[in-house]
Amino acid sequence: MDIKQLKDQFSSHYGSANDLKVFFSPGRVNLIGEHTDYNGGYVFPCALSYGTYLCVQKNTLGVLRFATTNFKYTAEVKLTDINKKHGGEWVNYPLGVLVQIKERGIQLSGMDMLYSGDVPNGAGLSSSASIEMVTAFAVNSLFNGNLSRWDLVKLSQQAENKFVGVNCGIMDQFASGMGEKNHALMLNCDTLDYEKIPLQMNGYLIVIANTNKRRGLADSKFNERQSECMKAVDYLKTRKPLKKLGELDLAGFNEIKDAIPDEVIKRRARHVVSEDQRVLDAVTALKKNDLVTFGQLMNQSHDSLRDDYEVTGIELDTMVDEARKIKGVIGSRMTGAGFGGCTVSIVEEKQVQYFIAEVGKNYTAKTGLHPDFYIAQIGDGSKEL
């Protein structure tokens, strides 16, 4: 991102940039542990070098002015009107954050804000969380809010839950706010305990493939899956005290799974519990520098998301199937909420260009869609530039 050019765009849009500050929060890719976060389970994301940039300065107009280089839609919101939603527009993400910050007693003034993101929107790399976190981090800094990073992560999640209306877990905001270069983060989404795990790739690279099958998170079946998991808990707690599926290990689930009479609900629960175990096994493998086992666990994760959780679809399945045919690929899976978006693969470095060309060609032949590929650089969390 050309920061000077972004500052010039801010000046062109708002007319002055006398006290301009620039902040950044990354998108994320989840290496393994999908649809476990809102079930109080384990996830294993890392922050990307792609993300959302925010140029911001205070104004004396008593209004919040929003603009972005990514979309035409702009908004001007009176401070007294920040609780009002703007249809399905992108400004609801920062507005929701500002509502949460205001509820914590931080007095806001008018601001001019120009956002610019290089995370593909709707790809499943958490462009929404990066917008929320860069807003929270910037406003906390501008108004001396003294909120910790964890505070900002939690309020950003609440903004998406309560204001935007997506019942996401905490993983996306956590990875965006807490990421560290060349590390992945193993997070227990129930206790919020986490561990930074160095990523030693040893001649392999992380390649993200965007199917370019767009899916809106809020109107996907994300909320439906969450409801199905809650139904599973209702059945299982007749046999064992339980609030979330993440409280069960695989052996414990197998002992009481017959309490679930609905086979679909049983499969949903089986994915969550087995995926939790795969995260733990993946971290163990990486600590032993065993990328091959890690790749096998990625493959198992995708197969479970396809068969038990049913959140993949023809595009993601095709991308993964084609990736696994390439020599030098040790693991490939969907990442994110599913129903479109991205896959993540571990690819031998010398095979990456062949991988991109061959997988791209075969995917287009089978789906009619043209994918995009990104070689993932693991970056830091929210920061001022």
CB under 8 Å to 317, separation ≥6 — which residues?
Answer: 306
Could you say which DSSP state residue 354 is in? H
Local confidence band at 124 (pLDDT 50, 70, 90 cut-offs): low
Token pair, residue 258, equals 């017959």
Q: Rounded mean pLDDT of 143-158?
A: 95
189 vs 276: CA distance, rounded Å: 11
Cα–Cα distance list, 119 to 29, 80, 116, 312, 372 (Å): 11, 31, 9, 21, 12
Q: Rounded mean pLDDT of 217-235?
A: 84
Contact 318, 312 (CB under 8 A): no
Token pair, residue 366, equals 């089978």
Regarding beta strands 183-188 and 42-59, do their DSSP bridges make them parallel or antiparallel, or are they unpaired?
antiparallel
pLDDT of 365 > 60? The answer is yes
3-state secondary structure 145-204: CCCCHHHHHHHHHHHHHHHHCCCCCCHHHHHHHHCCCCEEEEEECCCCCEEEEECCCCCE
pLDDT of 217 > 60? The answer is no
Q: Which CATH class is domain 3-197?
A: alpha beta
Contact 206, 375 (CB under 8 A): yes
pLDDT in the model for residue 214: 74
Regarding beta strands 110-117 and 63-68, do their DSSP bridges make them parallel or antiparallel, or are they unpaired?
parallel
DSSP, collapsed to helix, strand or coil, labels residue 239 as: coil
Q: Rounded mean pLDDT of 351-358?
A: 98
Comparing CA positions, the residue from 345, 270, 33, 53 lying closest to residue 171 is: 33
pLDDT of 343 > 80? The answer is yes
Local confidence band at 219 (pLDDT 50, 70, 90 cut-offs): low
Token pair, residue 49, equals 């070098």
367 vs 211: CA distance, rounded Å: 9
pLDDT in the model for residue 235: 98
Q: Rounded mean pLDDT of 338-343?
A: 89
Backbone angles phi, psi at 235, to 5 degrees: -70, -45
pLDDT in the model for residue 220: 63
pLDDT digits (tens, 9 = 90+) for 291-330: 999 999 999 999 999 999 999 999 999 999 999 999 999 9
Q: 26 - beta bridge partners? A: 51
Q: Rounded mean pLDDT of 184-197?
A: 94
Question: How many other C-beta atoms are found inside a 10 Å radius of the C-beta of residue 87?
Answer: 7
Local confidence band at 167 (pLDDT 50, 70, 90 cut-offs): confident
How many helices (H) does the chain have, and how many strands (E)? 11, 12
Amino acid present at 73: Y
Regarding beta strands 21-32 and 383-384, do their DSSP bridges make them parallel or antiparallel, or are they unpaired?
antiparallel
Mean pLDDT of the chain: 93
Q: Rounded mean pLDDT of 74-94?
A: 92
Q: Rounded mean pLDDT of 141-163?
A: 94
pLDDT digits (tens, 9 = 90+) for 192-210: 999 999 888 889 999 999 9
Local confidence band at 221 (pLDDT 50, 70, 90 cut-offs): confident
pLDDT in the model for residue 384: 96
Regarding beta strands 183-188 and 194-198, do their DSSP bridges make them parallel or antiparallel, or are they unpaired?
antiparallel
Q: 331 - beta bridge partners? A: 346
Least confident piece of the model among 42-56, 212-226, 343-357? 212-226
DSSP, collapsed to helix, strand or coil, labels residue 110 as: strand
Question: Which helix (H) or strand (E) covers residue 254, if one does?
Answer: helix 250-256
Contact 55, 117 (CB under 8 A): no
Q: Residue 345 burial (CB < 10 Å; 0-12/13-18/19+)?
A: buried
pLDDT in the model for residue 358: 98
Residue the block writes with tokens 């969907």: 334
Cα–Cα distance list, 71 to 40, 49, 66, 68, 115 (Å): 35, 21, 11, 6, 10
Local confidence band at 119 (pLDDT 50, 70, 90 cut-offs): confident
pLDDT of 218 > 50? The answer is no
Comparing CA positions, the residue from 205, 172, 200 lying closest to residue 187 is: 172
Q: Which residues are catalytic?
A: 172
pLDDT digits (tens, 9 = 90+) for 1-59: 889 999 999 999 998 878 899 999 999 999 999 999 889 999 999 999 889 999 999 99
pLDDT digits (tens, 9 = 90+) for 170-181: 888 999 999 999
